[in-house]
Amino acid sequence: MNSKNKTIRILGVLIFSVGVLAGMALLGIVVWGDFEANMFDPSVKQDASLTTLRCPVMITEAETATVTATFTNPLERPIELYTRAHITEGYVTLMREIITTLSLDPGETKPLHWTVTSDDAAFGRLVLVKVTVNRKYPLPSRQGTCGILVVGLPYFTGNQIFAFTLAASLLIMASGAGLWVVANRPLKDLGQDVIVAMGVLAGSVLAGMIVGLRGSWLFGGLIFVITVLLVGAIIGYFVNRGGKEQ
């Protein structure tokens, strides 16, 4: 075996692994924040999900961020929607309530905005937000939640940190896979198995991120668990294969 190619193979696997770990950490943050938010203020329950609620995944200690939700009137008559936003104020048990009545003409869409800062974070970790809309016949009552992680990095916004980390994770995974391909050309047998495993892991992390960012913490968490199990299964597969080939 060419020692140079062997070194490149090992380096490719290590680099890819770093990218996967960074992606899984980011996915874990997304899922954890939304899970905590779903448990926040459990006495408030509604009939359907408010899918238009949008929150940043993280904010910095010096940042003022905006939470947004849009509301549309699909009916052929004007309506008034009664909305309530509950936001933590330093503790899970303390919150501020912002009540808004929104008038909408037929077919009209309007946004609502709420500002949050690191001072709102429960125990300095997570800002928890729950927005509810009362039932307006025939429209059901709706509810949306989100959790925002506070990070202590200066000079950047939370969105910039998240975007950079996500891009770096994907780039690192792609670089590691590229090194593996270069060192194993033409791909066959073990080389093909490894690149397929890399593709499955990268796809799983990316799918979990997309689902989590759309507010589905349950499916995002499920994909996170599946990814962890895939890592274990892939390691076991190659350990067994390596043992048989010796």
Residue 225 identity (one-letter amino acid): V
Strand spans (E) along the chain: 48-49, 58-60, 64-72, 79-88, 95-104, 109-117, 126-133, 142-151
Helix axes 217-245, 3-39, angle to 10 degrees: 150
Summarised one tens digit per residue, pLDDT across range 45-93 is: 778 889 899 999 999 999 999 999 999 999 999 999 999 999 999 888 8
- The structure tokens listed for 51 are 């899918």
Confidence of residue 242 (pLDDT cuts 50, 70, 90): very low
Contact (CB, 8 A) for 24 and 166: no
- Alpha-carbon distance 28 to 31, whole Å? 5
| 41-151 is a CATH 3.40.50.360 domain | no
Confidence of residue 246 (pLDDT cuts 50, 70, 90): very low
Summarised one tens digit per residue, pLDDT across range 172-217 is: 999 988 888 887 777 676 767 778 888 888 888 888 888 888 877 7
- Alpha-carbon distance 121 to 150, whole Å? 7
Q: In the chain, where are the structural domains located?
A: 3-33+158-240, 41-151
Contact (CB, 8 A) for 117 and 95: no
